[in-house]
Structure 1
Amino acid sequence: MSRVFAFVPGVPHVKGISVMPWLIDLTGRQLWAREAIAALSAGGVALAESDAPSGGSTAGIILSVSDSQDLRAALGAAEYGRSRVMVIGPPNGKLKPWPVLDAGAAECIAWQGQVPAVSAWMQRIQDVEAVLDSVAVREKLTGNSPAFRSALRDLVVAARFGQGPILIQGETGTGKELAARVAHAVSHQRGNLVTVDCTTIVPTLMGSELFGHERGAFTGAVSVRTGACSGADQGSLFLDEVGELPLDLQPALLRVVQEGTYKRVGGDKWLNSKFRLICATNRDLKDEVAAGSFRADLYHRIAASMVTMPPLRERVEDILSLFARFCREVSGLAADPDVDASVQDVLLRRAYPGNLRDLRQLAFRIAARHVGPGAITPGDLPREDRPVSMHSAPAAGARAGGDPFRAAVAWAVDRGLGLRDIKERAAEAAVDVAVERSGGNVHSAAAMLGLTDRAIQQRQARKTGPDGACQTPADSSSATSRQ
């Protein structure tokens, strides 16, 4: 049974879909919970009491006295239904917030009669979700997986409701530049978005690129150049791969970010520019600060808000919709292509070391081979993109009953490798694959394999040897036996 309390002005309603925020009471109707419900209703907060999160709603409230299995189940169902949840605990504060937030809640408070705060939180959630589903966002970014929407929420909150710089982190190919475009599009900046790719500019010319130069400032400076800071005035300046910024230019960037003033190269006049700084990096800038290659004061300034774009392996649910979008781009068709179930399976199981860029190139290769209006079929996949078990070690695969791992072991046995060599080579291959899939990130590779960072580093060191020469498994075994 559903009980409707009151309506809040401005809450959208879609025909056929209930988008009213919901409320679940897990307290057994304790007195404080009944009082909270009455206060929220009297304060104009629209809530539909329910036994489970309502589909189509962007937000909900759960009243709970403890971090129970029922609470975690409700939070899981809410995440699946794309609802953001505030958990309200008893006034005594015995419901600890951190485990509840880790379980998926967006907020956790002890009830103290704070109706205006709850109402404002609900409105903010609805505002953010509306931006997430807007044309400005959807025309640039595709995805509905929890990991992706979480990152997108962080981006929208920082860009639309914040004022300071934004640092977008993520592996290569995760869509950091597209995220920067979205950040500019949903912000309140009136000017242009100016992009500077720090990896493509000669370090000696970086100052000119950012701040401009006066005529005669250096050889070849035959005229005045205004620079990116000038072009971004009243808009946004996006520094892609900001970790590449030369150390000697970082104080000048810090000044313009903090004070809005800068000088052109070769000039002595202070100029003004006010812009939103958006930076992106695939590096760990904290490590760069520790190594002395990036200024700590600049890092803390540009990292006012931080957004981490998830790799494709953490948003598998988005792969098929992304593939369809990339196919539409290359074909010029308005509708998503039909995709054979076998091809879908390959797309979902395949590794994407280059993330979105990798999937995009795969879609382009498949689209180039596809003929006619029918579905994309297995034959449309280039041979190098097909599952290994379909075209490698066929004899061993047949004897191993079709299991690709057993096929690889059978291949090794057939070639006279002993158990020690097989184990060593399998471990070595696993480390190599994990490091490759993680884009060279040792910590991520270790997490994939259930190892410590040091274990990965030790294996890599043993593989190359103390003098940098590559060792074979036999060499490693001999070295071990001599110790």
Structure 2
Amino acid sequence: MSIWIVDDETNLAGGLKKAFEKKGYSVKCIPTIHELQEALNTEIPSLVFLDQCLPDGNGLDMLPIILKIAPRCRVVMMTAFGDSSLVVRAIRQGAYNYLDKPFPLDAAMNMVTRAFESIRLQNQAEVMMADESNLLLGSSPAMEKVSETLSKLAPYQDVTVLLTGESGTGKEVAARMIHRASNCQGEFVAVNCSAIPEALLEAELFGYAKGAYTGADSNKPGLIEVADKGTLFLDEIGDLPLSLQTKLFRFIDQRTIRPLGSTKEKKISLKLICATCLDLEKKVREESFRKDLYFRISVIPIKLPPLRERGKDILELASYFLGDCSKRMNRPLPELTEEVQEVFLSYPWPGNVRELRNMIERILILRSQADSLVRLADLPMEMLDAHPVGLVPESRVVAPGASLNDTIDRVERELITAALAKCGGNRTQAAAELGISRFSLIRRMQRHGLE
């Protein structure tokens, strides 16, 4: 865990540095915004004590920049002005907390303890959520084939796997399933290749030796080395810069790494699992992805099917998420009506499993808690309205003295009644007559008391 103290007051910064180092933390003092920007090009801090008033500008302006580069970083603002509006602005922009100068050393120490505990809990929560093997549940032939392939990979250590599929299909979940089934001695290390700035990615992956560049005060193992004897998961591999693709290819081919600034190579043994939602073959043709690297990472390709192609797996997953979310919210477990199940099975789910999970949570929060069923009225309109309602003829909307909303409700009710009468009560035909989906028609009938 690294701590940066961004303050031009040398006595304060030096005192904090000495106190934090006694506790075993790695500490760096930075006096200006310019030097902070340079440091962010080579390292990612865990905790930053950021002074508001710096010689070359307002420290608060750097807050969003720090959090964009290091989203997990905790930033504590320091100010000598006691400006409450500044504190509010800092918290709204993502600051973890603040300290009014002068402050006792104990206050800073407590802040460090709480900040690192916050990071630990966040990491733990993400691991627990991602480790749910049930997120890949499903009895469809497509998912049974995926599960069978994943189980076959468990006994092999130095294996390379490529997971493909649309966003939200569960690629990281599949990677963690492979890791768990392998009983690896090492850790599961996930890296999002599109989230880390290109200038930092090489150092993050391969590490660096002390003195490799300005600011490299000590040896730092890369994430590949951290994953030794375990699993390295490279998400969004299609976004890996070309400059690093050659070095990654060499690692996969030789299973050795050489940290930046080092002359010694280290042997690494791990499962390498790459994932992407992009068409890598197309990127190879466009020469934005190395052909040799593509063939090297796709030794065992596994495609995760989109949710819309998994049939009744949708209802199995919906049931699981209903139970999980109800338990977390301490609420009774509701059931889906047959109409809602039909909507779920026909909806295209562009966001896949992730969208389904979010949709279930949204429904549980907004629905009436007194009802034991999830009904069409609880679903968002975008799930039901496949087609817009046609324009209402002018002669039908003339209603002197009535409000616009009352007029629209009256005309809609009349149109629905007329369509149902014309189609002999057949809802599917009536919906087609009105230019809307059958589910949208049912929901509108419920609203007008026609069901």
- Alpha-carbon separation, structure 1, partners of 2:259 and 2:217: 14
- Alpha-carbon separation, structure 2, partners of 1:255 and 1:189: 24
Compute the TM-score of the two structures, normalised by the length of structure 2: 0.55
Cα distance change on mapping 1:392 and 1:149 into 2, 3 Å: farther
Cα distance change on mapping 1:162 and 1:276 into 2, 3 Å: closer
Tell me the CA shift for residue 375 of structure 1: 2.2
Query: Is 1:326 aligned to residue 321 of structure 2?
Result: yes
Is the Cα contact below 8 Å between 1:166 and 1:304 reproduced in 2?
yes
Cα shift readout 1:158-214 (whole Å, capped 9, x = no counterpart): 344685201111111111110111111112522111000111011121101111123
- Matched residue type, 1:346: V
- Alpha-carbon separation, structure 2, partners of 1:307 and 1:388: 33
Is the Cα contact below 8 Å between 2:160 and 2:298 reproduced in 1?
yes
Q: Residue 379 of structure 1 corresponds to which residue in structure 2?
A: 377
- Alpha-carbon separation, structure 2, partners of 1:261 and 1:162: 15
Q: 2:204 aligns with which of 209, 223, 239?
A: 209
Aligned pairs for 1:244-393 (under 5 A) are: 244-332=239-327, 337-370=334-367, 371-372=369-370, 374-388=372-386
- Alpha-carbon separation, structure 2, partners of 1:372 and 1:231: 50
For these two proteins, the number of residue pairs brought into alignment is: 274
Q: CA RMSD in A?
A: 2.8
Cα distance change on mapping 1:185 and 1:375 into 2, 3 Å: same
Cα shift readout 1:444-464 (whole Å, capped 9, x = no counterpart): xxxxxxxxxxxxxxxxxxxxx
Please identify which structure carries the higher strand content: 2
Cα shift readout 1:416-474 (whole Å, capped 9, x = no counterpart): xxxxxxxxxxxxxxxxxxxxxxxxxxxxxxxxxxxxxxxxxxxxxxxxxxxxxxxxxxx
Cα shift readout 1:218-265 (whole Å, capped 9, x = no counterpart): 455444321111110001100001111111111221222222211112
Tell me the CA shift for residue 272 of structure 1: 2.3
Is the Cα contact below 8 Å between 1:325 and 1:336 reproduced in 2?
no
Higher relative contact order, structure no. (Cα contacts within 8 Å, ≥ 6 residues apart): 2
Secondary structure of 2:336's aligned partner: coil
Is the Cα contact below 8 Å between 2:212 and 2:260 reproduced in 1?
yes
Q: Residue 407 of structure 1 corresponds to which residue in structure 2?
A: 434
Q: Residue 153 of structure 1 corresponds to which residue in structure 2?
A: 148
Is the Cα contact below 8 Å between 1:213 and 1:264 reproduced in 2?
yes
- Alpha-carbon separation, structure 2, partners of 1:193 and 1:207: 19
- Alpha-carbon separation, structure 2, partners of 1:392 and 1:215: 70
Q: Comparing 335-344 with 365-374, which one deviates more in the overlay?
A: 335-344
Cα shift readout 1:125-157 (whole Å, capped 9, x = no counterpart): xxxxxxxxxxx9844421111111112222222
Secondary structure of 2:350's aligned partner: coil
Secondary structure of 2:234's aligned partner: strand
Cα shift readout 1:331-383 (whole Å, capped 9, x = no counterpart): 22699642222221221121211111111111111011231472222332234
- Alpha-carbon separation, structure 2, partners of 1:373 and 1:182: 37
- Alpha-carbon separation, structure 1, partners of 2:327 and 2:390: 35
- Alpha-carbon separation, structure 2, partners of 1:161 and 1:337: 43
Tell me the CA shift for residue 269 of structure 1: 2.3
- Alpha-carbon separation, structure 1, partners of 2:430 and 2:301: 43
Tell me the CA shift for residue 313 of structure 1: 1.2
Secondary structure of 1:323's aligned partner: helix
Compute the TM-score of the two structures, normalised by the length of structure 1: 0.52
Cα distance change on mapping 1:200 and 1:138 into 2, 3 Å: closer
Cα distance change on mapping 1:222 and 1:403 into 2, 3 Å: farther
Unaligned residue ranges in structure 2 (runs of 5+)? 1-130, 392-411, 424-428, 437-451
- Matched residue type, 1:340: T
Is the Cα contact below 8 Å between 1:242 and 1:279 reproduced in 2?
yes
Secondary structure of 1:316's aligned partner: coil
